[in-house]
Amino acid sequence: MNNPSPIIRNGSFLLFGIVFGFLLSRAGATDPALISSLLLFQNLHLLWVIGTAVGVGAVLNLSAKIFHWRNLSNGQLISFPHKPFVRALIPGALLFGTGWGLTGVCPGTAPAMLGEGQWFVGVILMGIVLGTWLVGLAHHKQLKRIAKIDRHPSEIHPR
C-alpha cells in the first residue's frame, strides 16, 4: 500500500481478514470432516471450491496482465510477485501437507475455526507458532555454521 498510516493499513487488513474468514467458513474449509473426505476422495466439494477460486483468480490475473490494470493504492500496474524456489520448498511442502492431512487444519483456516468456537484449534495454533520458531532456530544455526566455514581460511593461514 502507498504508505498509509499503520492504523488504516492494519484496519483494512482486519476487514479483509473478516471477509476471508467468513468465506472460508461458508466454503466448508473450516470443517475437518470435509477436509478428510476430500483427501479420501469421498466428497470433492472442497476441490471444486479451490478449483473455482484458482480459476476465477487466473482469469482475473490474465486480464490484469493483458489490459494493464492498475492497483488502487498507488496507481501502479498490479504486480505479480512470484514466490521464489528455495531449497527448503520441497521438504517444507511435504511436511506441511503431512500436518494438514493429520489434522485437517491449515494456517489460514485455523483462526477462523477458533472464531467458530472449535477450541481444539488453539493447540494447533500454538504448534504452528512453535514450528515457525523452530525453522527460525534452524536458520540461525545454519548461519552460524556458514560463518564458521567463512572464518576457516584465516585459521589455516594465521598472520
Partner 1 sequence: MTNDLFTGMGNLPLLSADLWPAWVAGGAIGLFAFAQRWLTDQPLGCSAAFGNVCARAGSRLPLFQGDAHSPATDWKIWFLVGIFLGGLFASVSTGTWAAPAHFGAFYDALMPQTTLGRIAWWLFGGVLIGMGARMAGGCTSGHTINGVAMGSPASMVASMLFFAAALGTAHLAQFLLKLSGGAA
Instruction: Give yes or no for residue 148 binding partner 1 (CB under 8 A).
Output: no
Site for partner 1 in 106-135 (CB under 8 A): 106-108, 111-121, 123-135
Nearer to partner 1, 26 or 148 (CB): 26
Question: What is the 8-class DSSP label of residue 82?
Answer: P
Q: Which of 5/158 has CB closer to partner 1?
A: 5
Q: Which three cell numbers stand for residue 114?
A: 477458533
- Least distance (Å) between residue 148 CB and partner 1: 15
- List the interface residues with partner 1, window 68-107 (CB under 8 A): 69, 71-74, 76, 78-86, 88-107
Side-chain-facing half-sphere of 5: CA atoms under 13 Å: 3
CB of residue 6 to partner 1, shortest distance in Å: 8
CB contact at 8 A, 70 and 76: yes
Q: Which residue has the cell 480459476?
A: 55
d(CA 82, CA 51): 20
User: Minimum distance from CB of 125 to partner 1 (Å)?
Assistant: 7
Whether residue 46 contacts residue 28, with contact meaning beta carbons closer than 8 Å, is answered with: yes
- Site pattern 5..44 for partner 1 (x: CB under 8 A): -x--xxxxxxxxxxxxxxxxxxxx-xxxxx-xx-xx----
Comparison of 94 and 153: residue with beta carbon closer to partner 1: 94
| CA–CA dist 148, 143 (Å, integer) | 9
